[in-house]
């Protein structure tokens, strides 16, 4: 699989772009339309495309899983800073993390997470999942639930 943003020139523009400049790209508006995003989700969309500009390969593993594990490429302290970061600092740290993960991660998982990162209902759940993915915690069945019934 190839990078989500295939046009290198577009990726370069998005890496340099501020928020409004990123939104003015036709490809960004096409992505917004395909995801059903509008002006109310503009900040999440900007964050998403600025981070996706660093991704080169769509991988099966989440970004947090690629960053952590038995031999993490991102230290636990840097993970904590990333999880606490906000606004531009968050995007900057996340872009660096993508590079540390060899510019590969599951693009769909990354998009899902970035679009709800600061959401009052889903943000904490998303950041908690990142912690479990980073540390490689096994996905276990809930009490009374067999492995076969998990979705």
Distance CA 4, CA 146 (A): 36
List b or e across 111-143, with b for residues whose CB sees 16 or more CB atoms inside 10 angstroms. bbbbbbbbeeeeeeebbebbeebbeeeeeeeee
Q: Which of 5-14, 31-40, 72-81, 101-110 has the lowest mean pLDDT?
A: 5-14
Distance CA 136, CA 30 (A): 35
Above 50 in pLDDT, residue 87?
Answer: yes
Distance CA 13, CA 123 (A): 28
pLDDT band at 7 (very low <50, low <70, confident <90, very high): confident
pLDDT tens string 18-32: 889 999 999 999 999
- Residues 98-125 have a mean pLDDT of 95
Above 70 in pLDDT, residue 5?
Answer: no
pLDDT band at 140 (very low <50, low <70, confident <90, very high): very low
pLDDT band at 138 (very low <50, low <70, confident <90, very high): low
Name 115's Cβ contacts closer than 8 Å, sequence gap at least 6: 35, 37, 41, 44, 45, 48
């Amino acid at each position: 699989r190839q990078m989500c943003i295939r046009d290198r020139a577009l990726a370069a523009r998005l890496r340099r772009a501020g928020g409004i400049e990123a939104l003015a790209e036709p490809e960004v508006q096409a992505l917004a339309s395909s995801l059903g995003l509008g002006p109310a989700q503009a900040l999440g969309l900007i964050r998403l495309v600025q981070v996706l500009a660093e991704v080169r390969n769509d991988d099966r593993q989440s970004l947090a899983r690629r960053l952590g594990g038995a031999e993490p490429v991102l230290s636990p302290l840097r993970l904590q800073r990333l999880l606490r970061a906000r606004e531009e600092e968050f995007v900057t740290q996340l872009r660096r993390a993508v590079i540390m993960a060899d510019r590969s991660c599951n693009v769909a998982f990354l998009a899902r997470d970035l679009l709800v990162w600061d959401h009052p209902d889903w943000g904490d759940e998303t950041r908690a999942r990142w912690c479990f993915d980073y540390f490689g915690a096994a996905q276990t069945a809930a009490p009374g639930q067999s492995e076969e019934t998990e979705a």
